[in-house]
Amino acid sequence: MTPPEGAQAHYRALESLYAAAPINRFFESRLAIPAAGESRIHFTVDQRHFHAAGAAHGTSYFKMLDDAAFYACNSLVTDRFLLTTQFSLLLTRPMGEGPVVAEGRWISGQRRVFIAEARLVAADGEEVARGTGTFMRSRIPLATLPGYAAG
Protein backbone atom coordinates (compact mmCIF):
# COMPACT_ATOMS: atom_id res chain seq x y z
CA MET A 1 0.00 0.00 0.00
CA THR A 2 1.33 3.43 -0.95
CA PRO A 3 1.63 5.91 1.93
CA PRO A 4 -0.69 8.93 1.66
CA GLU A 5 0.71 12.10 0.13
CA GLY A 6 0.05 15.80 0.56
CA ALA A 7 -3.15 16.73 2.35
CA GLN A 8 -4.08 13.10 3.04
CA ALA A 9 -0.73 12.51 4.76
CA HIS A 10 -1.31 15.60 6.90
CA TYR A 11 -4.82 14.43 7.86
CA ARG A 12 -3.55 10.97 8.85
CA ALA A 13 -0.71 12.57 10.86
CA LEU A 14 -3.21 14.77 12.73
CA GLU A 15 -5.33 11.70 13.45
CA SER A 16 -2.21 10.03 14.86
CA LEU A 17 -1.43 13.14 16.93
CA TYR A 18 -4.95 13.06 18.40
CA ALA A 19 -4.63 9.38 19.29
CA ALA A 20 -1.26 9.99 21.00
CA ALA A 21 -2.47 12.85 23.24
CA PRO A 22 -2.40 11.74 26.89
CA ILE A 23 -5.85 13.28 27.59
CA ASN A 24 -7.41 10.80 25.20
CA ARG A 25 -6.65 7.94 27.59
CA PHE A 26 -9.74 9.17 29.48
CA PHE A 27 -12.03 9.07 26.45
CA GLU A 28 -12.85 6.21 24.11
CA SER A 29 -12.62 8.28 20.93
CA ARG A 30 -11.36 8.32 17.36
CA LEU A 31 -10.66 11.32 15.12
CA ALA A 32 -11.29 11.27 11.37
CA ILE A 33 -10.47 14.13 9.01
CA PRO A 34 -12.40 13.48 5.80
CA ALA A 35 -11.48 16.73 4.01
CA ALA A 36 -9.88 20.14 4.50
CA GLY A 37 -11.73 22.12 7.16
CA GLU A 38 -13.73 19.15 8.45
CA SER A 39 -13.35 16.72 11.32
CA ARG A 40 -15.35 14.06 13.10
CA ILE A 41 -14.69 12.53 16.47
CA HIS A 42 -16.55 9.36 17.32
CA PHE A 43 -16.67 8.79 21.06
CA THR A 44 -18.60 6.95 23.72
CA VAL A 45 -19.97 8.54 26.86
CA ASP A 46 -20.10 6.27 29.89
CA GLN A 47 -20.68 6.73 33.61
CA ARG A 48 -17.06 7.80 34.19
CA HIS A 49 -18.00 11.07 32.45
CA PHE A 50 -21.12 11.73 34.57
CA HIS A 51 -21.75 14.46 37.13
CA ALA A 52 -23.71 13.69 40.33
CA ALA A 53 -27.09 13.92 38.55
CA GLY A 54 -26.31 11.06 36.13
CA ALA A 55 -25.50 12.79 32.83
CA ALA A 56 -22.29 13.81 31.08
CA HIS A 57 -20.31 16.55 32.83
CA GLY A 58 -19.66 19.72 30.85
CA THR A 59 -15.98 18.82 30.50
CA SER A 60 -16.97 16.08 28.04
CA TYR A 61 -18.98 18.54 25.96
CA PHE A 62 -16.16 21.09 25.93
CA LYS A 63 -13.38 18.63 25.16
CA MET A 64 -15.10 17.05 22.18
CA LEU A 65 -16.43 20.31 20.74
CA ASP A 66 -13.06 22.03 21.14
CA ASP A 67 -11.17 19.09 19.62
CA ALA A 68 -13.52 18.83 16.63
CA ALA A 69 -13.29 22.55 15.88
CA PHE A 70 -9.53 22.60 16.50
CA TYR A 71 -8.78 19.71 14.12
CA ALA A 72 -11.05 21.17 11.44
CA CYS A 73 -8.83 24.27 11.54
CA ASN A 74 -5.49 22.49 11.93
CA SER A 75 -6.33 20.42 8.86
CA LEU A 76 -5.67 23.66 6.95
CA VAL A 77 -2.31 24.31 8.62
CA THR A 78 0.53 21.91 7.80
CA ASP A 79 3.43 23.47 9.67
CA ARG A 80 2.24 24.67 13.11
CA PHE A 81 0.12 23.48 15.99
CA LEU A 82 -2.87 25.73 16.66
CA LEU A 83 -3.96 26.93 20.09
CA THR A 84 -7.49 27.60 21.31
CA THR A 85 -7.84 31.26 22.27
CA GLN A 86 -11.60 31.35 22.86
CA PHE A 87 -14.47 28.88 22.87
CA SER A 88 -18.20 29.39 23.43
CA LEU A 89 -20.57 26.54 24.27
CA LEU A 90 -24.31 26.03 24.00
CA LEU A 91 -25.48 22.88 25.80
CA THR A 92 -28.98 22.04 24.55
CA ARG A 93 -29.77 18.76 26.31
CA PRO A 94 -28.22 16.26 28.73
CA MET A 95 -25.95 13.64 27.25
CA GLY A 96 -26.35 10.12 28.62
CA GLU A 97 -24.42 6.93 27.97
CA GLY A 98 -23.76 5.89 24.41
CA PRO A 99 -22.08 6.86 21.15
CA VAL A 100 -21.77 10.51 20.15
CA VAL A 101 -20.20 12.22 17.13
CA ALA A 102 -18.50 15.59 17.34
CA GLU A 103 -18.53 17.31 13.94
CA GLY A 104 -16.14 20.21 13.35
CA ARG A 105 -16.22 22.69 10.48
CA TRP A 106 -13.85 25.53 9.65
CA ILE A 107 -15.68 28.83 9.08
CA SER A 108 -13.06 31.49 8.36
CA GLY A 109 -9.45 32.59 8.63
CA GLN A 110 -6.39 31.24 6.84
CA ARG A 111 -3.37 33.12 8.10
CA ARG A 112 -3.02 33.67 11.83
CA VAL A 113 -6.50 33.31 13.34
CA PHE A 114 -9.04 30.61 12.46
CA ILE A 115 -12.70 30.25 13.45
CA ALA A 116 -14.59 26.98 13.51
CA GLU A 117 -17.83 25.59 14.81
CA ALA A 118 -18.64 22.15 16.13
CA ARG A 119 -21.67 20.21 17.23
CA LEU A 120 -22.34 17.03 19.18
CA VAL A 121 -24.86 14.58 17.76
CA ALA A 122 -26.17 11.74 19.92
CA ALA A 123 -27.00 8.26 18.64
CA ASP A 124 -30.65 9.26 18.12
CA GLY A 125 -29.52 11.91 15.62
CA GLU A 126 -30.35 14.83 17.91
CA GLU A 127 -27.89 17.65 18.49
CA VAL A 128 -26.99 17.92 22.19
CA ALA A 129 -24.54 20.83 22.04
CA ARG A 130 -22.72 23.22 19.76
CA GLY A 131 -19.76 25.54 20.07
CA THR A 132 -17.67 28.10 18.24
CA GLY A 133 -13.96 28.55 18.74
CA THR A 134 -11.12 30.83 17.77
CA PHE A 135 -7.69 29.31 17.18
CA MET A 136 -4.31 30.85 16.39
CA ARG A 137 -1.00 29.60 15.10
CA SER A 138 1.53 28.76 17.77
CA ARG A 139 5.30 28.64 17.48
CA ILE A 140 5.19 24.86 17.92
CA PRO A 141 6.10 22.96 14.74
CA LEU A 142 3.75 20.01 14.17
CA ALA A 143 6.68 17.85 13.07
CA THR A 144 8.23 18.08 16.56
CA LEU A 145 5.17 16.70 18.38
CA PRO A 146 5.05 13.06 19.49
CA GLY A 147 2.42 11.26 17.47
CA TYR A 148 2.45 13.59 14.45
CA ALA A 149 3.68 11.17 11.82
CA ALA A 150 3.28 12.69 8.36
CA GLY A 151 3.84 10.27 5.52
Rounded mean pLDDT, 21-29: 93
Rounded mean pLDDT, 48-61: 94
Name the phi and psi angles at 73, rounded to 5: -75, -45
The CATH number of 6-143 is: 3.10.129.10
All structural domains of the chain with their residue ranges: 6-143
Rounded mean pLDDT, 49-55: 94
- State the pLDDT at residue 63: 97
Report percent pLDDT > 70 for the chain: 96
The rounded distance, in Å, linking the Cα atoms of 119 and 32 is 15
| pLDDT surpassing 60 at residue 22 | yes
Using DSSP bridges, classify how beta strands 80-91 and 113-122 pair: parallel, antiparallel or unpaired: unpaired
Provide CB contacts within 8 A for 60, sequence distance 6+: 27, 45, 49, 95
